[in-house]
Structure 1
Amino acid sequence: MSAEQVLYSVVVNDEEQYSIWWDGRELPAGWRNEGTRGSREECLAHIDQVWTDMRPLSLRRRMERG
């Protein structure tokens, strides 16, 4: 299978950090499917659009509380 044929899924963890994972493989603990599937490039482009704040969720919440 060529690199162009490999499907990936966009995954996200409880801290709202994004990554890609091979589609159909078991996810590591703490990660869930975000719902986007496609080539590596398509998944990374999607992450670029939706992951605009790189700070972990727990840090963002602490900063909001002041």
Structure 2
Amino acid sequence: MEQLNPFDDPLQDCLVLRNQQSQYSLWPDFSPVPRGWAPVFGPAPRAECGRWLETHWTDMRPAALRGA
């Protein structure tokens, strides 16, 4: 049986992280949050985190580019 990478596991509880440029990332809740990122949602099932991202991350450009 093939082992799923925990970052790709649809059953994994995740966090939604945001950096200083207002970019977001899904992150497994068992893994330490990387420097420069902060949790803004979760932990929650991956699908729920995906829905949160769809409604809150409306502009994928880094904040520095949005103001230009």
Cα distance in 1 for partners of 2:30, 2:17 equals: 12
Is 1:12 the counterpart of 2:3? The answer is no
Q: Which amino acid aligns with 2:53?
A: I
State the structure with more CA Rg.
1
Looking at structure 1, the residues matched to 10 and 27 of structure 2 have their Cα atoms a distance apart, in angstroms, of 14
- 8 Å CA contact retained: 2:17, 2:38: yes
CA contact (8 A) 2:10 2:47 kept: no
Q: Which runs of 5+ in 2 are unaligned?
A: 1-8
Residue aligned with 2:34, SS: coil
TM-score normalized with structure 2 length: 0.75
Quote the RMSD (CA, aligned, Å). 1.7
Residue-by-residue CA offset, 1:24-63 (whole Å, 9 max, x unaligned): 42111211101332111110111011000111001112x2
Amino acid aligned to 1:28: P
TM-score (norm 1): 0.77
Q: How many residues align?
A: 60
Q: Say which SS state the counterpart of residue 47 (structure 1) adopts.
A: helix
Tell me which residue corresponds to 1:38: 44
Measure, in 2, the Cα distance between the counterparts of 1:3 and 1:16: 24
